[in-house]
Amino acid sequence: MAAHGLDEARFEIVIIKTTGDRIQDRPLADAGGKGLFTKEIEEALIDGSIDLAVHSMKDVPTELPRGLVISTILPREDVRDAFISLTARALSDLPAGARVGTSSLRRAAQVRRLRPDLEVVEFRGNVETRLMKLANGVADATFLACAGLRRLGRADRITAALDPGEMLPAIAQGAVGIEIRDADSTTATLVAPLNDGPSALAVEMERAFLARLEGSCRTPIAALARLDGDRVTFTGEILTPDGTRHHRTERHGPLADRVRLAVEAADELRAVGGDGFFTA
Report whether 1 contacts 7 (CB < 8 A): yes
Rounded Cα distance between 29 and 26, Å, is 8
Among the listed residues 25, 30, 59, 184, the single catalytic one is 59
Q: How many residues would you count in the chain?
A: 280
Question: CB count, 10 Å around CB of 68?
Answer: 17
Pairing of strands 99-101, 141-145: parallel
- Is 59 a catalytic site residue? yes
Strand runs (DSSP E) across 113-230, as ranges? 119-121, 141-145, 160-161, 176-181, 221-228
Report angle CA 51, 31, 182 to the nearest 5 degrees: 20
What is the DSSP code (8-state) at residue 81? E
Question: Which residues are part of the catalytic machinery?
Answer: 59
